[in-house]
Amino acid sequence: MDSNYSKNIEKAYHKIKNRSNKGLVAKYIPELANVDPSKLGVHITMIDGSNCGVGNNLEKFSIQSIAKVLSLTMAYNIVGEKIWNRIDVEPSGTKFDSLLLLETYKGIPRNPFVNSGAIVICDILITHLEDAKEDFLAFVRELSDLPDLSYSDTIADSEKQTGFRNVALCNFIKSFGNIENDPAEVLDFYFDMCSLEMTCQQLSQTFAFLANNGRKITDGTKIISKMKAKRINALMLTCGFYDESGEFAFRVGLPGKSGVGGGIVALYPDNYTIAVWSPKLNLHGNSHKGMELLEDVTTHSELSIF
Ligand code: GLN
């Protein structure tokens, strides 16, 4: 690990740690509101495997929508380019759980990272896999080298009680014929998928394949083709932060993905993956301090894709 990286990260951490935070912890999933809002962690993994972090970087948190990148990776591998017949690749300019554009585009979600798109991905996985829930978990365990990784029943059950907008989204898409399976089964899998928990360290290591042309950095296993990795990164850059994707590209300059648990993972192809966690969210549902910290890191290191 180049010591400049660790110094840079430590500096950014201390600077952001002491700032006030106007964000709010997500409460619409009751269990997420039980998290200590002052947590802050960051971890960087270089593609040579060296890594370092600071703060609460070794504490698990709910990765929520960050898991949508992993379900897309699995579904894209299975169905190939045909996947884009069911989900578009355009930024939505709307909140993550918006129903608005589904009417206009006749049940075709704008991209795989808004909830509607991720719900269609879950439907695709259910159609093609024997047991989507188990097979997806096995895929992520292999990808992350975390054989004990499992869904959090507490978080999934909490969201199952209150996920009314997602129920509406799934049924609405079904009315246009873009959900093949029983909506209850699709939603059940979607909520489980969002309930995965990881630390910043684990997250930065799990996503390293996308900074490494689709191959795991630990043993070189091919997870996805180079071309598909490029496209997933393009989608993270343009759609990873919903109606704040432009702002993230402008301020941070990296492809990335956020989750309402307060996590963000971002990557610089051929270089590194970085994960941050701070539970308080801004109005767009993205981690307030997480974005500030990443902005600080890429501004001072001058290492972004632009
Ligand atoms: N499970 C959350 C939801 O569906 C995921 C949203 C997010 O992380 N942006 O609302």
Domain boundary among the residues 193, 210, 239 is at 193
User: Which backbone phi and psi does 245 adopt, to 5 degrees?
Assistant: -65, -40
Q: Are residues 201 and 52 in the same domain?
A: yes
Q: Contact, 16 vs 297, CB < 8 A? A: no
Q: Are residues 31 and 122 in the same domain?
A: no
Q: Are residues 202 and 269 in the same domain?
A: yes
Q: Are residues 69 and 57 in the same domain?
A: no
Which amino acid is located at 199 in the chain?
T
User: Of 27, 28, 29, 94, which is best to mutate to test ligand 1, by the most ligand atoms within 8 angstroms of its C-beta?
Assistant: 29
The reply to whether ligand 1 has any atom less than 6 angstroms from the CB of 194 is: yes
Q: Is residue 306 part of a domain?
A: no
Confidence (pLDDT) at 301: 83
In sequence order, what are the beta bridge partners of 53? 43
Q: Tally the domains of the chain.
A: 2
d(CA 156, CA 154): 6
Q: Are residues 73 and 172 in the same domain?
A: yes
Confidence (pLDDT) at 2: 75
Q: Are residues 184 and 203 in the same domain?
A: no
Confidence (pLDDT) at 22: 86
Q: Are residues 216 and 239 in the same domain?
A: yes
Residue 275, SS3? strand
CA dihedral 229, 235, 241, 247 (to 10 degrees): 110
Domain enclosing residue 162, as ranges: 65-193
The CATH number covering residue 285 comes to 3.40.710.10
The parts of the chain modelled with pLDDT lower than 50 are none
Q: Are residues 56 and 203 in the same domain?
A: yes
User: Of 32, 62, 64, which is best to mutate to test ligand 1, by the most ligand atoms within 8 angstroms of its C-beta?
Assistant: 64
Confidence (pLDDT) at 300: 86
The reply to whether ligand 1 has any atom less than 6 angstroms from the CB of 244 is: no
Q: Are residues 128 and 45 in the same domain?
A: no
Q: Is residue 182 part of a domain?
A: yes
Q: Are residues 208 and 180 in the same domain?
A: no
Q: Is residue 287 part of a domain?
A: yes
User: Which backbone phi and psi does 269 adopt, to 5 degrees?
Assistant: -50, 140
Q: Is residue 305 part of a domain?
A: no
Q: Are residues 213 and 257 in the same domain?
A: yes
d(CA 209, CA 205): 8
The reply to whether ligand 1 has any atom less than 6 angstroms from the CB of 65 is: yes
d(CA 303, CA 281): 25
Q: List pLDDT tens digits, range 121-152.
A: 999 999 999 999 999 999 999 999 999 999 99
